[in-house]
């Protein structure tokens, strides 16, 4: 949809903002017992999918600047969830990995999605369609979209 001036409809921005805030709030009852914030949860999920990873790789995947990600990773390290070590092949890179304690929580962490789907009344097919749409919006360069360069 476009407005009369030809730009994007501002209601889209409001809808996205509201949905993002609701997602954070919906996750809280699942994450509080695990001692995680929503951004920490996202980091741990990424590391469950592939680790160790460099801070730069995590930042690119999560859309977070290093200056935002580093304090978050330090808090996760203090909580015993991740390790941070210099890459022996390239001392400039810091590699992040999950601890055994974090890996032991994988079942609980992965079950959060089911609770969110139920709270949002999403079907598995609807969830996958929504995820694909949001990933295309959030990571347009992954699709080779030259208009965002």
Write phi, then psi, for 65 (nearest 5 degrees). Answer: -70, 150
pLDDT digit string (tens) for 84-118?
Answer: 999 888 888 999 999 999 999 999 999 998 888 88
Long-range contacts from 62-71, C-beta under 8 angstroms, 24+ separation: 63/138, 63/139, 64/39, 69/43
Per-residue pLDDT at 147: 46
Query: Hey, where are the domains in the chain?
Result: 10-143
The band of 146, judged by pLDDT with boundaries at 50, 70 and 90, is very low
Report the top-level CATH class of 10-143. mainly alpha
Q: What global pTM score does this model have?
A: 0.80
């Amino acid at each position: 949809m476009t407005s009369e001036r030809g730009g994007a409809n501002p209601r889209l921005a409001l809808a996205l903002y509201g949905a993002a805030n609701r997602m954070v709030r919906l996750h809280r009852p699942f994450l509080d017992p695990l001692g995680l914030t929503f951004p920490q949860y996202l980091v741990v999920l990424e590391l469950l999918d592939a680790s160790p990873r460099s801070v730069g790789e995590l930042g690119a995947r999560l859309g977070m600047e290093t200056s935002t990600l580093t304090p978050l990773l330090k808090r996760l390290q203090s909580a015993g969830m991740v390790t941070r070590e210099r890459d022996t092949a390239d001392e400039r890179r810091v590699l992040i990995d999950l601890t055994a304690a974090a890996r032991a929580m994988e079942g609980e962490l992965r079950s959060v999605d089911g609770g969110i789907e139920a709270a949002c009344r999403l079907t598995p097919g609807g969830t996958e369609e929504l995820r694909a749409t949001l990933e295309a919006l959030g990571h347009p360069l992954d699709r080779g979209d030259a208009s965002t360069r």
